[in-house]
Amino acid sequence: MSSTNSDSAPPARYPSPCIRHCCLDDADVCVGCGRTLAEICEWGAANDQRRREICSAAQQRKRPLPG
């Protein structure tokens, strides 16, 4: 049996780091995921390589939630 495009699922996209604690700080960085507002807006159109870059940068700037 031959495989066709309709037989296979589309490749999984790199998952969003969003944790639904969306609130921007004074520098327009989300306190939940660590992404900038520009990165959040870019996310939907970004390829997986760019998504990895965004997540890496977000992880470096992310601050722990108070409390």
Show me where the domains of the chain are located.
Answer: 16-61
Mean pLDDT on 5-10: 61
43 near 51, Cβ under 8 Å?
A: yes
pTM above 0.85, yes or no: no
> Is the model's pLDDT at 50 over the cut of 70?
yes
Mean of pLDDT over the chain:
87
With pLDDT > 90 as the criterion, what percentage of the chain qualifies?
70
All residues at 6 or more sequence positions from 18 whose CB lies less than 8 Å from its CB, including other chains: 32, 33
Question: pLDDT tens digits, residue range 13-48?
Answer: 899 999 999 999 999 999 999 999 999 999 999 999
